[in-house]
Structure 1
Amino acid sequence: MTRSLKKGPFVDYHLLKKVRSSDVLNKRIIKTWSRRSMIIPEMIGFTFAVHNGKNFIPVFVTENMVGHKLGEFSPTRVFKGHSGDKNSKNLKGSKNVVRKK
């Protein structure tokens, strides 16, 4: 569901203030907890350290990211893989397989 155009994009005020006060050439990382803020064209070229719940993930903003939220580029969950029998995958090539004659 998209946001109404008459409302405009949501950006936290403290984050917008940091973006407007700093310079793109400064190359300073802007640390933020605001994952809900939308990326606007003023943010292009900045690097944000977006909090994922445990630590801060650096996100360099490009033109393709405009309109997305900052939190989309800082994953909060880590997929460790499915558990299962490791030996069942290699049964085809093992010598323990009973073959019909």
Structure 2
Amino acid sequence: MSSSDFRTGREGEFTYRGHTLDELQEMSLEEVAELLPARQRRSIDRGLTEEKQKLLEEARERGEEETANDPIRTHLRDMPVLPAFVNKTFSVHNGQSFERVQVRPEMLGHYLGEFQLTRQSVEHGQAGIGATRSSKFVPLK
């Protein structure tokens, strides 16, 4: 996604491909899909699954203050971020636990899972008991 896809105007108002956030939220799902990148557009054109439709309805029904206190829990990491999700809090599952993700306007057109990493960085220690002979060698300097 290029930087020209979303900008802030002179007054700091967010726009996504020439449309303000209010305009995007008033559009139908099909109209929003036309603005999204190809992969997200294709997943919407093929039809949202029942679980994804439930998540979208729950996001539309709940207010911003409600989700801040009690985030919407989901395993749907492959759900595209839609205008109905903006300024709402989700708890996205990363394979081990649910982690909070506050959806901002800049996240439109991405997937929920992109903002919650599933892998942790590996920090190797020194070779221990049972290590092979060659890996036991630790230089002094």
SS in 1 for 2:38: coil
State the match for 1:24 in structure 2. Answer: 64
Tell me the distance in 2 between the aligned counterparts of 1:16 and 1:80. Answer: 36
Deviation at 1:23, TM superposition (A): 1.0
Unaligned runs of 5+ in 1: 92-101
From 15, 18, 38, the equivalent of 1:2 is 38
Tell me the distance in 2 between the aligned counterparts of 1:20 and 1:81. Answer: 42
| Identity across matched positions, percent | 30
Root mean square deviation, CA, Å: 2.9
Deviation at 1:4, TM superposition (A): 7.2
Kindly report which structure 2 residues correspond to 1:1-101, keeping only aligned pairs within 5 A, or say none: 2-3=38-39, 5=41, 7=45, 12-26=52-66, 27=68, 28-82=70-124, 88=139, 91=141
TM-aligned CA distance change 1:46 to 1:78, over 3 Å: same
SS in 2 for 1:3: helix
Deviation at 1:52, TM superposition (A): 0.6
TM-aligned CA distance change 1:46 to 1:74, over 3 Å: same
Tell me the distance in 2 between the aligned counterparts of 1:84 and 1:9. Answer: 51
TM-aligned CA distance change 1:57 to 1:20, over 3 Å: same
Code of the residue aligned with 1:23 in structure 2: it is G
Indicate conservation of the 8 Å contact 1:10/1:38, yes or no.
no
TM-score (norm 2): 0.53
Tell me the matched-pair count: 90
Tell me the distance in 2 between the aligned counterparts of 1:9 and 1:67. Answer: 16
Q: Look at both structures and tell me which one has the larger radius of gyration over its CA atoms.
A: 1
